[in-house]
Each structure stands twice: as C-alpha cells, then as structure tokens.
C-alpha cells in the first residue's frame, strides 16, 4: 500500500512536470492549427438500432460477450500475479503458453463498454467494472500488465494498444473511475518491454511481430485524457512516417507485400495524428491508401489481403488467390480497420464515397461472419474461392475475437454523423438518433428493409420547429437518381459530395421517404480477369448457394427472379438446372461460390 501511494504521488508529480514542460514547448513552437472537419461522430449513447440484420448481430454479440466468464478471462493474469485463479484456463491464443497470452481482455472490456453506453444495459457496465478491478488486482507494485512471457517479449505494443482502448472506454463510457488511473500504471508497466522507437513489420512470419505503428492513435487519446506528455512522445516515436505515411502522402503505392490488417489499422493513427498535429500529409496518406485499397486490393466484399498480405497490383494476384488459399480476408480485424479508416475520411472530407466503402464492408465483411460459439471458436478468415464454407479459426480466442465485439459495438457510429448544419444519414438501417439543434431536441427515426428492399422512411420528432439539413448518402452504385418524397410529395434535393441535401424547417411528424432502385450488377475480380465476376445488388454481394461442383458460371443478372416466400433470395433456371443466390451475410453452413465466369 505504501509503495502504491508513493508511486501515485510520483506519477502526479511527473504529470505536473510534463504539463509544465509541454506548456513551455508550445510557447516556443507553433501550435498545430485547429482542425475543423465537416462531419463528426455521434456519441455511442445517441444512436440505437431498432431492427434488421445489423441489430440481430448486435444483440447476439451483446449476449455472447456478456456471458464470458470473468474468472476465466482473468485466470492467466491472476496466475502470473500469484493470486488465486479459480477460472478454467481459456486456452488458444489467450492462454499462458498461447500465441498472444491475455491479448484481448482490453478489447472485450472496450466492446462491452461501448455496447453498454448504447443500450443502457447496466450489466455491461458492471462487467466492465468487475474486469477492470480484477485486472488491476494483478498488476502489483511493478504494474506488470502482461499475462505471460510471450506477451512481454513478442507482442507488448499490440497488447498495450488493447489495454489502453479498454481502460479509456471503461472510464469514458462505463464511468469506471479506477480505469483512468490505470491508464498510466499500465503504460509505465509496459515501458520496460516496448521499444524506444517504432519499426515496421516486414513479412508475416518474421519476428519481431510486434506492431509499434498500431499504437499512436491510442497513445494520443491517452495523452488527451491524462495530459501525460509521455504518451504524446511515444506516439510521435511510433508514427510510421518514413516507411509508410510519407511515401503514401507522396502518391506512392507502398502496400504490396505488407501485412494487411496492421497497416490499415495504422491509418487510424494517421487520422488521429492529423487531428493532434494539424499536418495534412496524414490526410493525403489516408486518401491515397484508401484509393489504392479500393482500386487495386479489394474483393467485392470490401475485404483485402489474401494470406494477410497486400498483393502486387495489375498481375492478376487477386484472381490467383481464389485458387491458392482459403484465407482471403481477415474479416473481423480487417473490417474494423477499414471501417475506422472510412469514418476518419468521411468526417475529414465530408465525401460520401467513403460511406460507400464503409457500407460495403459492413454488410459483406463483419455482418457476414460465422457467429462465435460459447467457448472460444471464432470467425477469422473469409473464403472467396469456389465451393467455400464459413468456418471457425482452428485456434481458440484469436485476434478477431477482440475486434469482432469492438466492430459490432461500433455499428451505431457508422449510421449517422453530425454536420455543422444538421445530420448525415450514412447507412440505411432501422435505427434512431437523437441530438440537439438550436436548442430543440430532435429525434430521427429510420424504418427500412434496406438493403433487401430499397425504401427508406425517415421521421422527425422535435420539441420545436427547427431548421437544419438532412444529408442522405446516395450510394455510388446507383444508376438512377433516387426519388425523395417529403410528407408524401416529391421534393427536390441538391446533390453535394454524394449526399442528397434536404434543408428546411423541420417539425414533429415530418416524414421523408427515399426509394433506391436495386438492380443486379457484376464486378470483376481484377483488371486482368474481367470475366471472373461477383454478383452484387445494392451494397450486397450475392453468392450461389450449394453450387454444383463442376460448374463455375454465374447466371446472367437479367435471368434472376425473386424466390417466392423468401426475403432477398433469387434464382435462375436454365434447362433443368436451377441456381439459387443469396446475400453473402445470409449464408450459414451451406457451401457457396462468390466468383464465377461470365460471358
């Protein structure tokens, strides 16, 4: 106890010194210019899902992570601390001798804190508090925050990133007061194990795996929360400028050969660096990376990185990967990274194109994964080759078990964004958003069966008639202009940066409906194989269910007819052969084929 007080006093003193020196430094150097972005994210508590496939997944993930056993999650930490450890060992990646011991505790805390803030479920906040308290009890006088030697020696930065996210979310979203103090304790406990300077991860199989460059976003956030300059300095040391952001900002393609997920999640650190430092090179790096991902790396689902590695473009390597691997997209982790990048770019530029990319990977990436079981079996890779099935990763509790709950919890962040003059509707999903506009309390309610059907109904409730703009994303795949009706009558909307803008004095009961025509279209796998295509309808990738082994040809879009009694399933008949197509996210255990020949 004495040493605790001494340490805390020491930290408080160090923070005061750091603050003073920080103030000194900013007096001598130009402060970063303030960044005023066109859009901002809503708080987790301001948006709720009310129906549809996103809510179905959200509710299941909510229940599944709430049911995780606290004693099991803490076992590996308690054992290392020499405390009674009553839980069964988790095994898999998480266990003492696993690949990354104890790695995802912070992510489970983070996901539950986010879901609790959105749903108001007090059980989430209680579980977050219990896990934080249980973890804190294992730190000891040296603040040892890693569960086992593999964690300390191979993955300290990777795990520290998760710890920081969990503690910050526990503090800010679940109101766990203890978590704030732990942010600094955990960082100082990690210092003996993390390098002074950042480095790139070259090749998937070559140690050190540890990804210093994923950390700056969390370090900058911790700096903003604690004002401890040590976080800021380490964030600066870990920004992957020379090898990655600088060439990307200069328009170069430095993706090929790099580890896919870690270099996309690193772009969130670029997004945060731009906000903190005011340096627009980070925006250029993010925009170029996003463009390269979409134009050279991406499957129809929005996924990328076969075998977790970026391909060399214009060589037919995406096509080749259909036949050489089943590991096409590390889906929960990759979706989480792609969606965060899209949100940064959407907020920074106000350009709906980034909402299109976000929508694609939401519906065909994270929503389309196999649901986890109760004992550590999780989705990891999605397979896009012929006759594939959705399977679990062979090892329990992988990385994707952490990003799955965080990514699903973030679903509510993807639907609406705050604009200076109103609100953006970015995703079409049954949901509700609440905010204050010119002193009036506004509720926007969205009802729709999108993306299976194209009708979206929005209804405004307001404590007083209030002028603001509603900006509705018009997806880039749309061939025709959507029809808008206000209170039943056709209404004109200006198209700005891909958003249809309806600005008026809104009163309670005002209703806006949009009709998106949904048609099938085809997308080629890459530029060298225009005849190998995926079928899409709106944002959804359609796959052939239970395909015949010997045939790899897609039906022509014109031949597809809705299957009576189903929702969103189509079929085509030719001779005595009937093919059935369903949205990829609706596939469960049956075999499917995503890419096939056309023409």
List residues binding Zn ion (CB under 5 A).
330, 333, 399-400
CB nearer Zn ion, residue 399 or residue 586? 399
The least distance separating Zn ion from the CB of residue 421, rounded to whole angstroms, comes to 39
Tell me the CA distances in angstroms from 327 to 202, 266, 295, 303, 339, one per residue in order.
19, 21, 20, 11, 20
Task: List phi, psi (to 5°) of 506.
Answer: -85, 140
CB nearer Zn ion, residue 46 or residue 400? 400
Cα dihedral 139, 144, 146, 149, rounded to 10, equals: -130
Rounded distance between C-alpha atoms, residue 490 and residue 10, angstroms: 66
The least distance separating Zn ion from the CB of residue 405, rounded to whole angstroms, comes to 12
3-state secondary structure of 275: helix
Rounded distance between C-alpha atoms, residue 197 and residue 200, angstroms: 10
Residue 436 neighbours by CB distance under 10 Å: 11
Residue 408: CA count within 13 A, CB half-sphere: 33
- What is the full DSSP assignment across 282-325? HHHHHHHHHHHIIIII--TTS---GGGBPPPTTSSHHHHHHHH-
The least distance separating Zn ion from the CB of residue 184, rounded to whole angstroms, comes to 28
Q: Which of 266, 294, 284, 203 is nearest to 477 (CA)?
A: 294
CB nearer Zn ion, residue 167 or residue 400? 400
The least distance separating Zn ion from the CB of residue 102, rounded to whole angstroms, comes to 16
CB nearer Zn ion, residue 330 or residue 437? 330
The least distance separating Zn ion from the CB of residue 331, rounded to whole angstroms, comes to 8
The least distance separating Zn ion from the CB of residue 195, rounded to whole angstroms, comes to 23
The least distance separating Zn ion from the CB of residue 70, rounded to whole angstroms, comes to 23
Q: Which of 36, 31, 32 is nearest to 348 (CA)?
A: 36
CB nearer Zn ion, residue 399 or residue 541? 399
CB nearer Zn ion, residue 232 or residue 378? 378
The least distance separating Zn ion from the CB of residue 330, rounded to whole angstroms, comes to 5
Residue nearest to Zn ion (CB): 333
Residue 343: CA count within 13 A, CB half-sphere: 24
The least distance separating Zn ion from the CB of residue 160, rounded to whole angstroms, comes to 17
Q: Is 179 exposed, middle or buried (0-12, 13-18, 19+ CB in 10 A)?
A: buried
Instruction: Find out whether 328 and 388 touch, Cβ atoms under 8 Å.
Output: no
The least distance separating Zn ion from the CB of residue 403, rounded to whole angstroms, comes to 6
Rounded distance between C-alpha atoms, residue 137 and residue 139, angstroms: 6
CB nearer Zn ion, residue 330 or residue 377? 330
Bridge partner residues of 419 (DSSP): 39, 422
Rounded distance between C-alpha atoms, residue 530 and residue 458, angstroms: 39
CB nearer Zn ion, residue 100 or residue 292? 100
CB nearer Zn ion, residue 399 or residue 500? 399
CB nearer Zn ion, residue 231 or residue 397? 397
């Amino acid at each position: 106890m004495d040493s605790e007080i001494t340490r805390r006093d020491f930290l408080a003193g160090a923070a005061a010194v750091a603050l003073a020196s920080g103030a000194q430094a900013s007096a001598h150097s130009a402060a970063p210019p303030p960044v005023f972005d066109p859009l901002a994210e809503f708080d987790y508590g301001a948006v709720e899902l009310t129906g549809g496939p996103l809510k179905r997944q959200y509710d299941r993930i909510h229940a599944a992570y709430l049911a995780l056993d606290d004693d099991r999650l803490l076992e590996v930490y308690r054992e290392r601390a020499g405390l009674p450890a009553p839980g069964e060992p988790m095994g898999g990646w998480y266990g003492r001798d696993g690949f990354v011991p104890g790695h995802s505790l912070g992510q489970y805390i983070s996901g539950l804190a986010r879901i609790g803030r959105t749903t108001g479920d007090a059980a989430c906040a209680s579980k977050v508090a219990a896990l934080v308290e249980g973890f804190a009890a294992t730190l000891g006088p040296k603040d040892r925050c890693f569960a086992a030697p593999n964690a300390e020696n191979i993955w300290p930065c990777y795990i520290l990133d998760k710890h920081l996210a969990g503690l910050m979310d526990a503090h800010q979203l679940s109101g766990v007061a203890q978590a704030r103090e732990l942010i600094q304790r955990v960082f100082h406990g990690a210092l003996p194990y993390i390098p002074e300077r950042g480095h790139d991860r070259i090749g998937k199989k070559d140690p050190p795996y540890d990804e210093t460059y994923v950390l700056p976003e969390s370090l900058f956030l911790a700096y903003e929360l604690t004002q401890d300059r040590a976080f800021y300095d380490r964030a600066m040391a870990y920004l992957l400028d020379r090898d990655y952001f600088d060439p990307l900002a200069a328009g170069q393609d430095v993706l090929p050969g790099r580890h896919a997920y870690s270099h996309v999640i690193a772009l969130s650190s670029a997004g945060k660096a731009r906000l903190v430092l005011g340096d627009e090179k980070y925006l250029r790096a993010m925009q170029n990376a996003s463009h390269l991902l979409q134009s050279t790396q991406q499957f129809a689902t929005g996924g990328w990185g076969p075998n977790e590695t970026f391909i060399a473009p214009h060589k037919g390597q995406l096509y080749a990967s259909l036949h050489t691997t089943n590991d096409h997209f590390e889906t929960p982790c990759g979706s989480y990274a792609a969606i965060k990048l899209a949100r940064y770019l959407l907020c920074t530029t106000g350009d709906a194109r980034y909402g299109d990319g976000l929508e694609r990977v939401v519906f065909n990436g994270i929503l389309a994964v196999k649901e986890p079981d109760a004992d550590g079996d999780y989705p990891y890779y999605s397979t896009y080759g012929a006759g594939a099935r959705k399977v679990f990763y062979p090892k329990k509790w992988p990385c994707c078990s952490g990003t799955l709950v965080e990514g699903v919890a973030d679903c509510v962040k993807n639907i609406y964004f705050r604009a200076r003059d109103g609100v953006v509707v970015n995703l079409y999903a049954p949901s509700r958003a609440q905010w204050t506009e010119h002193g009036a309390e506004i509720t926007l309610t969205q009802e729709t069966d999108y993306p299976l059907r194209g009708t979206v109904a929005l209804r405004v409730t307001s404590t007083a008639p209030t002028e603001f703009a509603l900006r509705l994303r018009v997806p880039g795949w749309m061939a025709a202009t959507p029809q808008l009706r206000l209170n039943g009558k056709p209404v004109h909307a200006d198209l700005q940066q891909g958003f249809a803008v309806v600005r008026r004095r809104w009163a309670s009961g005002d209703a806006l409906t949009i009709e998106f025509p949904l048609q099938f279209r085809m997308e080629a796998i890459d530029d060298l194989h225009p005849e190998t295509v995926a079928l899409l309808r709106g944002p959804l990738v359609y796959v052939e269910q239970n395909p015949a082994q010997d045939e790899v040809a897609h039906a022509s879009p014109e031949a597809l007819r809705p299957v009576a009694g189903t929702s969103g399933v189509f079929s085509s008949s030719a001779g005595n052969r009937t093919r059935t197509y369903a949205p990829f996210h609706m596939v469960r255990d049956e075999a499917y084929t995503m890419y096939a020949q056309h023409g």
